[in-house]
A = this chain, B = another copy of it.
Amino acid sequence: MNEIATRRRATVHDVARTAGVSLATVDRVLNARAGVRAATIERVEAAIAELGFQRDLSASLLARARDLRVTFIIPEGSNEFMASLAQAVANRAGPALADRLHLDIIRIKALDAMALAHCLDSLQPSACDCAVIVAGEDPSVLVAVDAATRRGILVVTLVSDLPGSSRRAFIGIDNTAAGRTSASLMGRFCTGHGKVGVIAGSLHLRDHRDRLEGFRQVIAAEFADIEIIGPIEGHDEHAETAAQVTTLLAQHPDLAGIYNLGAGNAGLVSALTASGRAGTIRVIAHELSEPTRRGLLSGVIDVAIDQNPDGEIRAAIGAARALALDSSAAAPIEPIEIGIFLRDNLR
């Protein structure tokens, strides 16, 4: 038998006694309030370390006058993945309330950096402890993130990171690894066959660039007999993607595979179906959405690479909670896995 823990947890009282200070001083240190000498802060922190003191989350949440407020800012539009992120937040809102977490969602225009920046600027610290954003890489967003941080709002990036900013955590997958994984599968599917077409949404998007780079790396290193056609840009639109795929198929009667690293999968599926070559071409796409799900079930798509929206939202909420309760802490790192789905393990 393997007992893990142990005796009674240390409380603030224990910390005060050990540090030789009063409860009020410990409280000031713990909650980063002013009016404590540096030397005293050190004494208290030493006591905290010595006792292994951990703030009791239950009591801490209970004692706060207000709940923690987390605001999600999520792009709106036809992108199914963003919609499922928003849905995941909505699903968590109820249960989270019992944990004293208040979740808000704000939908803003997709790919509009100014809208995101304005939205961040409009957040009041009194109404929002933590903002979770899907950020594009834009200077105005970076400025807004830093301003929000200075106002006392914690910022967490989701899906797409904003390195160089004061964001306190990033929750998302490694898109280069996702591209490598796709190549690794595609290479094994198409050994000795030849051509693979690659479709992107836009090479201005960082995650798409990353996926493409990873895909190219592995194809070049391990599957030298495979020739990459493209990338073609479908701008994440169904109609445009369908047109591009139709052209691609016509130009390459010997095409062995297609990798769509962007959105617009409904167009991909319809074009392939119309061509009559569905099933003979190996297809890898991104995100488990309605179109890819249909594609997997009908055999048009072989594999969907996915970042689990529920998992990402759960991780984001966890990070927000941990940061809000102890803003000096590092964000907990709960790695988001790259999901690989075939018809047989659809969730």
Contacts and interface: CB of A to CB of B under 8 A. Distances in A.
Interface of A: 1-5, 9, 54-62, 89-90, 93, 97-100, 102-107, 174, 177-178, 180-181, 183-185, 188-189, 214, 218, 282, 302, 308, 335, 337-340, 342-345, 347
Contact of A107 (B2, B188, B214): B2
Most buried by B among A57, A104, A344: A344
Given A56-B98, A56-B100, A188-B189, A105 B344 contact: no
A177 B342 CA distance: 10
Given A4-B104, A9-B97, A57-B98, A184 B342 contact: yes
A345 B58 contact: no
A184 B344 contact: yes
A110 to B, nearest CB: 15
Contacts of A347: 335, 337
B54 A98 contact: yes
A340 B340 contact: yes
Nearest to A8: B67
Given A57-B58, A93-B4, A98-B54, A344 B181 contact: yes
Given A58-B58, A98-B55, A188-B302, A4 B103 contact: yes
Given A57-B99, A188-B189, A337-B347, 9 more contacts: A4-B103, A5-B93, A57-B58, A174-B345, A177-B344, A180-B344, A181-B345, A214-B344, A339-B340
